[in-house]
Amino acid sequence: PFLYPAEHKETIIQLEEDWGSRVGAAARCVCYHQLLNPMYHDAYRQICGNPKLSCNVQSKLFGALLDKGVADAMRKIIVVNDETNAASLVSLRDTFEEVSERLEKQDKKKAKKEETTFLVGESFTAADLAWVAFMFPILQPPETAPLLGYITDDQMPPSVLSLREKLRATRAGQSALTM
């Protein structure tokens, strides 16, 4: 019950649904747009071959077939192209701007500056949890890389690194990284 306080339940559910439909899909599209480029197939294989993130049989099969048409099929099936990538980037930036504005409004309601700012109300709710969960793949908090075995920054597409740094620098990004 504490994650969905009655007075904020409707707002929290609306935020979860919005982020689930907009941000999750947009983040995947942006990442796929880059990682399905043959130049980054090795990095994608490393992500998919990580036993912490997928099963061994699946990752070996996927890795072997990535260059043999799987990447092209994924682009077609989930509609990943320059146009959807551009739209996804706009969606991500808009969402980060909206959440940053929400946090700034919440900041003004706090009695003490050093208090944690929450997205809805005065305590941690499902909205905060959802924000962190949806942002995790795109923000990749540095302290989690060794735990999950993500690819290193030098293996990442520069455009993804640039986007990640820009989003991390926003009020919304900082909130997700410190939550």
What count of other Cβ atoms lies within 10 Å of the Cβ of residue 67?
A: 12
- Nearest Cα residue to 132 out of 173, 71, 76, 86: 173
Tell me what pLDDT residue 42 has: 78
pTM of the complete model? 0.83
Q: Using one digit for the tens of pLDDT, what is the confidence trace for 138-164? A: 888 888 766 666 677 887 888 888 999
Q: Is the pLDDT of residue 56 over 70?
A: no
User: What confidence tens digit (pLDDT) does each residue in 9-41 have?
Assistant: 999 999 999 999 888 889 889 988 988 888 887
CB count, 10 Å around CB of 151?
18
Q: Which residue has the tokens 């969905």?
A: 4
Whether residue 89 has pLDDT greater than 80: yes
Mean per-residue pLDDT of the chain: 85
Q: How confident is the model at residue 126 (pLDDT cuts 50, 70, 90)?
A: very high
DSSP, collapsed to helix, strand or coil, labels residue 115 as: coil
So what's the pLDDT on residue 17? Answer: 94
Range from 22-36, 48-62, 119-133 carrying the lowest mean pLDDT: 48-62
